[in-house]
């Protein structure tokens, strides 16, 4: 287990390094650089030169990358060009909000998707089956921004029971105090992911149904209910856990759309605004945080997987 | 009553009568959702690619005098958009773009992913390690970032969009195919080929990939569905194909900005079209997967 | 700079430019005042006190208070806010019906020019004092000049040859009067409106310190000392969260002081109890509230959370709803022009753009009136030349006003065909190269096709549609236009002034005017944008006559100079003239009176009051 952990950790570090290289090079290969946009057309050539010097754009790409990396190793993500704050403190303010939003919607999605997937895995073709499957597909097939629009029209205009905007509070406590305003954004996020999760669950259940241990359990006279909910579901959770780790960037992209539709100042909106203003430090910072979260997520997923599923445990070398 | 009963009863007659492929077809056709998906897809293809031959409209020039006419006015069945173009005709050309990019990008992603995953899984060792770390890094970077950066460098034409979306979507199939390849690798015949010094390329393309074909085909269908959704997002974020071309996502997001005006015909036809086509591909993929599972079980 | 946001989810597509064009340019004006434009109702019984909330545009985070802004700290609202705390020497605005000097809002009496425009004598107002009790004196102005001179490279508004370079000598006459000897004769109007408006007396008695010890001296009188003082002050100015508590910034001479200034951009100005001038504030406090998107602002506006806000462009249909909830809705027109520069140095199309007949054909294919009405819902007005057309001013020539090139596609097409272009398959190609009267013109090879590429700002449905309309009408005369949209800042990054052999010169046409391309200072001369050596002459336009006219408009005192310039460039088409959009569509609460929507986009909140 310790060898396995060490190996996975080493891999994770390599992946993160690779990410910094790719992201940094891509961003800095954009011709022109951000100075004119940041300073405005009025800026004199001297001002642009000063900006480029201050932010190291006059150095070679390798030198720039090295400077970036060494700052990064000291935990410094740099300062935003436009928002008067360090990238670290901006992420500190925005990340918890996004975590609340995506955490809640993922939770809701899982609560719906896991039983649904089990049920679908054992389905019989029939009207109910087709209806449910169709509904799940429709949820999956609706672009989040369209879904959000429909939710807003239905629940704030046709049946005005919910506010059209996510809570605007600064602190997490106040965020939850305004929990009614969280319903629509969480729902929009959950609907889109239910289909993806239940699809994984279903195929995992199908795989497990064919396994020997199910037959054994049945032969031993375990009740059908026990077989399904205890054995099959437990083992079918593995792919879901594995997927969650890798699903973070997707969740983030979804969060970006939801945050902008419901005007919720989280990481997604921060990233999007930075993209509009060519605020490179913020772009680099947010992408790195997400990459780090993904890598840690998949690492944790591997470990949890090993704990949950005896078969995987055996395969860890 | 056993859990696998429904599968057993349905395929029982077929098992005796036909080979695995015919059984697959039957299995697929028995799935009503899959068949419906196929029919919807066919109808949409006809609508987008044959439709303009019957319903002639000018999708190049704007007609400001005719902006936002409601459906039924002056021969515009679905009204006109905010610069006076016929919405029905626009749905057809928009659909062409969506389907072209979606299908091509989905297939491209599957192709890259399959080859990458097969080689990685077949080779094993440090080659596998390096190739999979690249995949991990790719997964860890939000596709949106890659889309944004490439969009500032390249002009958004249809081939460019296909390339970009294909290149950000190949990671999942790569992981799937690698897993298949890993399990095949230990199979006797591949080991035998390796021992006999058979060409590696041959082993990958003649054995590893064909054996993973079920996974690949099923995944390709889902890839196409996802690619169509992805271009809708890309257009929503303002990075879509350049005018006068458009796609359903572009039409939808533009329509949404007129929500408060009540121009429903700028929103719902395009939105519905996206939902329909993505659903259709998902249904087909679902049916295919069931069918392939039957083939595997029958082996 | 305000980004327009289409309603609802399209906020996602809304680029939230923090330091966009207009904002940055506004600062260049540095002249403030009240405008005629959309002034709110006056009358009602003025009520002393009360507070008002003003909605800032998305991401227009104010981030500077010190009168000399370093690059990156020129966002529009910085100077609008600062001018209420530290009075500039002169303020310009539109309160008189046109853009003119507003003596009440400045620190000095009108300047007196002598010696043929080479000497200016300025007298400060009597009775203005700093909050620490000291009088505002010529020493405070000298302090500004010393710091600006020694640190001009770090001053964001510095432009070579302009202030402080053009002041040869600063002479103190007495406590309230000083004399400036200029390096050459300038047009007094230009010099006062576009140069002296930058000058802001600064409290030498409190700020002339080199380090945190706070010991005041005459350090600014040596270059070295001035550098140290400047370094210390901009260091302090970088600490936004201390603006409300740092004793330095308490020494104000304007009608307001800073009460709150957060890093997220929320600013509250409180009435300056120690203000001694004749333009005291009616209100107790004004809060400038930041928003992440125009839609967010609109939602708050609908619930009555702001007193002075704005409508996202496409929500103009909601005007009635907003009016019914107690607001008046008025466009805020900017002292600006909107245009698309041609890149005359582009290796492929530069030679084509240099042909006047081509530019005429392009201009005649643009139906500005219909674009303004249908696409911009009348929130933009056609513009035909280099001088802002709203409000009408004495600078506007008849030629520009009457549109020398009215919309006429057939005439445009004839211009091309009569100059050796053959239109086949919707694309014109040059079939008669050469420089004769019926030939394509210098530098254009046979077979050249009219294929233009345009870089445009994303995030606005109106802009998208305008460009599609342009594409459509140009295709009718055989010009194929390919469009690429990018966020505003990228458009600026990707359309720099360039030489033909540079890789950055691949752009051909560029649009960055969703809220107006160029905001002028009070005197709308074009030395920055249309002179050969202009700092923001993006397309490298170069014309000897234009240079001469620009020069006359800034250095001679001939009142006709501006009109001649306006007329010449309206006909020469250095850029494609486009409809000029309003700065914003404001919603002002009915009982908030005395508001003037200044075309220069400054504010005079001291004159706002709540009616009973």
Query: C111-148, pLDDT tens digit by residue?
Result: 999 998 899 999 999 889 999 999 999 999 999 999 99
B266-287 pLDDT, tens digit per residue, is 999 999 999 999 999 999 988 8
**Residue B188: its pLDDT value, please?**
67
CB distance from C457 to chain B under 8 Å?
Answer: no
**Sign of the CA dihedral with A30 first, then A35, A41, and A45 last:** negative
Q: For every residue of C318-366, which 3-state class applies, written as one string? A: HHHHHHHCCEEEEEECCCEEEEEEECCCCCCCHHHHCCHHHHHHHHHCC
Same domain, A108 and A32: no
Neighbour-count burial for B236-254, b at 16+ CB within 10 Å, e otherwise: bbbbbbbbbbbbbbbbbbb
Separation of alpha carbons C426 and B56, rounded Å: 19
A219-224's contacts with Cβ under 8 Å and 24+ in sequence apart are A224/B1, A224/B3
Q: Cis peptide leading into B244, omega within 30 of 0?
A: yes
B278 or B21, higher pLDDT = B278
Average pLDDT over residues B189-210: 71
**Residue B12: its pLDDT value, please?**
37
Average pLDDT over residues C172-185: 94
C363-412 pLDDT, tens digit per residue, is 999 999 999 999 998 889 999 999 999 888 889 999 999 999 999 999 99
Mean pLDDT (chain A, rounded): 82
**Residue C511: its pLDDT value, please?**
95
Q: How many angstroms away from the CA of B212 is the closest CA of chain C?
A: 40
Q: How confident is the model at residue A11 (pLDDT cuts 50, 70, 90)?
A: confident
Residue A84 in any domain: the answer is no
Residue A242 in any domain: the answer is yes
| A124, A143, A252 member nearest B142 (Cβ) | A252
Out of A73, A100, A128, a domain closes at A73
Same domain, A112 and A62: no
Same domain, A170 and A293: yes
CB distance from C212 to chain A under 8 Å?
Answer: no
- Give residues with Cβ within 8 angstroms of B277, minimum separation 6: A141, B40, B41, B44, B95, B98, B99, B102, B225, B228, B248
Residue B282 to residue A141, Cβ atoms within 8 A: yes
Q: How confident is the model at residue B194 (pLDDT cuts 50, 70, 90)?
A: low
| A37, A84, A256 member nearest C492 (Cβ) | A37
The chains found to touch B (3+ Cβ pairs under 8 angstroms) are: A, C
Asked if pLDDT for residue B41 goes beyond 60, the answer is: yes
Structure tokens at C299: 């939602």
CATH code at C13-288+585-611: 3.40.190.10
Residue A149 to residue B256, Cβ atoms within 8 A: yes
3-state secondary structure of C133: coil
Asked if pLDDT for residue A186 goes beyond 70, the answer is: yes
3-state SS of chain B: helix, strand, coil percent to 5?
80, 0, 20
Residue A146 to residue B271, Cβ atoms within 8 A: yes
- Give the residues across from B138 on adjacent strands: none
CB distance from A143 to chain B under 8 Å?
Answer: yes
C446-461 pLDDT, tens digit per residue, is 999 999 999 998 888 8
C289-343 pLDDT, tens digit per residue, is 988 777 778 878 887 889 999 987 666 667 888 888 899 998 899 999 999 999 9
Q: Which of A137, A198, A206 to mutate to probe the B interface, most B CBs <10 Å?
A: A137
Q: Which of A201-215, B123-137, B241-255, C206-220 has the lowest mean pLDDT?
A: A201-215
**Element of type H or E holding B135:** helix B125-140
Residue B143 to residue A249, Cβ atoms within 8 A: yes
Which range of residues forms the domain containing residue A143?
89-315
Structure tokens at C465: 């549609």
Separation of alpha carbons C573 and C415, rounded Å: 15
Same domain, A8 and A152: no
Q: Which of A234-238, B3-7, C219-223, C595-599 has the lowest mean pLDDT?
A: B3-7
**Residue B299: its pLDDT value, please?**
39
According to CATH, the superfamily of the domain at B25-49+88-296 is MetI-like (1.10.3720.10)
Separation of alpha carbons B80 and C570, rounded Å: 36
* Topology at the third CATH level for domain C337-581: Dipeptide-binding Protein; domain 3 (3.10.105)
Asked if pLDDT for residue B143 goes beyond 50, the answer is: yes
**Number of domains into which chain A is organized:** 2
**Residue A58: its pLDDT value, please?**
86
Same domain, A13 and A131: no
Beta strands C327-332; C100-101: pairing state: unpaired
CATH code, domain with A252 = 1.10.3720.10
Same domain, A95 and A60: no
C439 or B10, higher pLDDT = C439
Separation of alpha carbons C47 and C609, rounded Å: 6
User: What are the residue boundaries of the structural domains of chain B, listed by start?
Assistant: 25-49+88-296
Same domain, A121 and A28: no
| A124, A130, A294 member nearest B6 (Cβ) | A124
Residue A261 to residue C12, Cβ atoms within 8 A: yes
Residue B236 to residue A257, Cβ atoms within 8 A: yes
Q: How confident is the model at residue C20 (pLDDT cuts 50, 70, 90)?
A: very low
Cβ-based contacts of C12 with chain B (< 8 Å): 236-237
The answer to whether B149 and B239 have CB atoms below 8 angstroms apart is no
A254-264 pLDDT, tens digit per residue, is 888 888 888 78
Give the CB-side neighbour count of residue C70, counting CA atoms within 13 A.
15
Q: How confident is the model at residue C19 (pLDDT cuts 50, 70, 90)?
A: very low
Q: For residue A282, give the nearest of A53, A82, A101 by alpha carbon.
A: A82
Separation of alpha carbons B111 and B120, rounded Å: 14
**Residue C398: its pLDDT value, please?**
94
Q: How many angstroms away from the CA of A304 is the closest CA of chain C?
A: 36
Separation of alpha carbons C36 and B281, rounded Å: 60
Average pLDDT over residues C536-564: 91
Cβ-based contacts of C64 with chain A (< 8 Å): none
Token look-up 């050539």 returns A45
Is C337-581 the same fold as C13-288+585-611? no
Out of A73, A98, A125, a domain closes at A73
Same domain, A112 and A244: yes
Same domain, A116 and A263: yes
Q: How confident is the model at residue B77 (pLDDT cuts 50, 70, 90)?
A: confident
User: What are the residue boundaries of the structural domains of chain C, listed by start?
Assistant: 13-288+585-611, 337-581
Q: What is the ipTM of this complex?
A: 0.84
A284 or A277, higher pLDDT = A284
- Most confident range (mean pLDDT) of A152-166, B189-203, C21-35 is A152-166
Cβ-based contacts of B65 with chain C (< 8 Å): 370
| A40, A51, A265 member nearest C24 (Cβ) | A40
Q: Which of A143, A228, A250, A252 to mutate to probe the B interface, most B CBs <10 Å?
A: A143
What is this structure's pTM? 0.86
């Amino acid at each position: 287990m310790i060898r396995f952990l060490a190996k996975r950790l080493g891999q994770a570090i390599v992946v993160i390094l690779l990410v910094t290289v790719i992201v940094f090079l891509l961003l800095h290969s954009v011709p022109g650089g951000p100075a004119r946009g940041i300073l405005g057309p009025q800026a004199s050539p001297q001002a642009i030169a000063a900006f480029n010097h201050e932010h190291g754009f006059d150095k070679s790409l390798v030198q720039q990358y090295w400077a970036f990396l060494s700052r990064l190793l000291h935990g410094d993500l740099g300062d935003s060009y436009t928002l008067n704050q360090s990238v670290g403190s901006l992420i500190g303010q925005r990340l918890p909000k996004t975590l609340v939003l995506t955490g809640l919607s993922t939770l809701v999605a899982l609560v719906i998707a896991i039983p649904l997937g089990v049920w679908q895995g054992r389905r019989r073709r029939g009207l109910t089956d087709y209806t449910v499957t169709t509904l799940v597909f429709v949820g999956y097939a609706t672009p989040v921004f369209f879904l959000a629009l429909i939710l807003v029209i239905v629940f704030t205009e046709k049946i005005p029971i919910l506010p059209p905007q996510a809570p605007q509070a600064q602190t997490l406590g106040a965020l939850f105090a305004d929990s009614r305003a969280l319903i629509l954004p969480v729902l929009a996020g959950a609907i889109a992911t239910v289909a993806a999760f239940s699809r994984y669950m279903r195929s995992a259940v199908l795989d497990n149904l064919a396994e020997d241990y199910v037959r054994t359990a049945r032969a031993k006279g375990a009740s059908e209910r026990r077989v399904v909910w205890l054995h099959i579901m437990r083992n079918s959770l593995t792919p879901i856990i594995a997927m969650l780790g890798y699903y973070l960037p997707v969740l983030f992209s979804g969060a970006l759309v939801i945050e902008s539709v419901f005007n919720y100042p989280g990481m997604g909106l921060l990233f999007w605004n930075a993209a509009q203003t060519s605020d490179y430090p913020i772009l680099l910072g947010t992408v790195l945080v997400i990459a780090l979260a993904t890598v840690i997520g998949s690492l944790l997923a591997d470990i949890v997987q090993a704990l949950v599923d005896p078969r995987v445990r055996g395969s860890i070398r | 009553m056993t859990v696998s009963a429904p599968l057993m009863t349905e395929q029982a007659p077929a098992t005796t009568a036909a080979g695995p492929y015919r059984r697959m077809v039957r299995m697929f056709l028995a799935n009503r959702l899959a068949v419906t998906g196929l029919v919807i897809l066919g109808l949409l293809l006809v609508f987008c690619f044959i439709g303009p031959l019957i319903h002639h409209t000018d999708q190049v020039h704007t007609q400001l005098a005719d902006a936002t006419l409601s459906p039924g006015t002056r021969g515009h069945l679905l009204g006109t958009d905010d610069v006076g173009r016929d919405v029905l005709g626009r749905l057809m050309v928009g659909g062409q773009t969506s389907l072209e990019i979606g299908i091509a990008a989905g297939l491209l992603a599957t192709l890259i992913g399959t080859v990458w995953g097969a080689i990685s899984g077949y080779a094993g060792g440090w080659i596998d390690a390096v190739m999979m770390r690249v995949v991990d890094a790719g997964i860890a970077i939000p596709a949106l970032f890659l889309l944004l950066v490439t969009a500032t460098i390249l002009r958004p034409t249809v081939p460019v969009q296909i390339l970009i979306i294909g290149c950000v979507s190949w990671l999942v199939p790569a992981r799937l195919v690698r897993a298949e390849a890993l399990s095949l690798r230990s199979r006797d015949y591949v080991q035998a080929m390796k021992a006999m010094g058979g060409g590696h390329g041959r082993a990958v393309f003649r054995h590893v990939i064909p054996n993973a074909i079920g996974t690949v085909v099923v995944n390709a269908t889902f890839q196409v569905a996802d690619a169509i959704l992805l271009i809708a997002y890309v257009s929503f974020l303002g990075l879509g194909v350049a005018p006068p071309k458009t796609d359903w996502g572009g039409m939808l997001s533009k329509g949404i900005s007129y929500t408060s005006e009540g121009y429903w015909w700028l929103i719902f036809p395009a939105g519905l079209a996206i939902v329909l086509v993505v659903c259709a591909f998902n249904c087909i993929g679902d049916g295919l997967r069931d069918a392939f599972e039957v083939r595997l079980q029958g082996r | 700079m305000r980004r327009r946001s289409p309603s609802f989810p399209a906020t996602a597509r809304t680029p939230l430019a923090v330091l966009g064009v207009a904002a940055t340019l506004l600062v260049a004006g540095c002249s403030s005042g009240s405008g005629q434009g959309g002034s709110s109702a006056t009358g009602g019984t003025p009520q002393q006190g009360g507070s008002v909330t003003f909605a800032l545009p998305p991401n227009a985070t104010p981030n500077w208070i010190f009168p000399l802004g370093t690059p990156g700290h020129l966002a529009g609202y910085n100077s609008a806010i600062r001018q209420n705390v530290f009075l500039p020497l002169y303020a310009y605005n539109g309160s008189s019906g046109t853009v003119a000097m507003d003596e009440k809002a400045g620190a000095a009496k009108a300047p007196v020019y002598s010696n043929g425009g080479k000497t200016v004598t300025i007298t400060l107002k009597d009775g203005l004092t700093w909050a620490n009790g000291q009088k505002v004196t010529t020493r405070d102005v000298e302090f500004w000049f010393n710091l600006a001179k020694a640190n001009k490279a770090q001053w964001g508004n510095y432009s070579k040859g302009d202030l402080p370079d053009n002041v040869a000598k600063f002479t103190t006459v007495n406590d309230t009067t000083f004399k400036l000897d200029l390096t050459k004769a300038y047009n007094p109007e230009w010099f006062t409106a576009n140069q002296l408006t930058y000058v802001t007396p600064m409290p030498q008695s409190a700020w002339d310190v080199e380090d945190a010890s706070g010991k005041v001296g005459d350090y600014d009188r040596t270059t070295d000392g001035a550098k140290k003082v400047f370094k210390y002050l901009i260091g302090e100015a970088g600490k936004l969260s201390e603006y409300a508590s740092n004793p330095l910034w308490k020494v104000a001479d304007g009608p307001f002081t800073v009460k709150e200034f957060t890093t997220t951009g929320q600013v509250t100005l409180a009435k300056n109890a120690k203000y001694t001038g004749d333009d005291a504030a009616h209100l107790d406090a004004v809060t400038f509230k930041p928003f992440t998107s125009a839609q967010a602002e609109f939602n708050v506006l609908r619930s009555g959370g702001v007193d002075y806000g704005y409508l996202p462009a496409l929500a103009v249909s909601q005007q009635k709803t907003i009016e019914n909830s107690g607001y008046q809705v008025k466009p805020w027109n900017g002292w600006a022009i909107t245009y698309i520069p041609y890149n005359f140095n582009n290796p492929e199309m530069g030679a084509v753009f240099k042909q006047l007949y081509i530019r005429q054909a392009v201009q005649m294919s643009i139906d500005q009136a219909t674009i303004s009405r249908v696409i911009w819902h009348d929130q933009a007005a056609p513009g035909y030349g280099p001088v802002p057309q709203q409000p009408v001013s004495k600078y506007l020539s008849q030629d520009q006003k009457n549109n020398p090139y009215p919309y006429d596609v057939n005439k445009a097409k004839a211009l091309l065909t009569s100059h050796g272009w053959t239109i086949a398959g919707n694309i014109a190609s040059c079939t008669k190269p050469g420089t004769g009267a019926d030939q394509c013109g210098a530098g254009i090879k046979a077979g050249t096709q009219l294929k233009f590429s345009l870089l445009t700002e994303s995030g606005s449905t109106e802009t998208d549609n305008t460009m599609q309309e342009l594409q459509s009408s140009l295709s009718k005369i055989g010009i194929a236009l390919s469009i690429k949209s990018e966020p505003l800042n990228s458009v600026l990054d990707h359309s720099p002034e360039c030489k033909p052999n540079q890789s950055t010169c691949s752009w051909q046409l560029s649009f960055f005017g969703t809220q107006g391309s160029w905001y002028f200072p009070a005197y709308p001369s074009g030395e920055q944008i249309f002179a050969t050596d202009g700092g923001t002459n993006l397309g490298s336009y170069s014309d000897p006559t234009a240079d001469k006219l620009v020069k006359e408009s800034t250095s001679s005192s001939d009142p006709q100079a501006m009109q001649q310039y306006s007329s010449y460039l309206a006909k020469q088409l250095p850029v494609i003239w486009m409809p000029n959009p309003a700065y914003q569509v404001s919603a002002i609460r009915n009982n908030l009176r005395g508001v003037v929507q200044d075309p220069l986009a400054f504010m005079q909140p001291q004159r706002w009051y709540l009616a009973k």
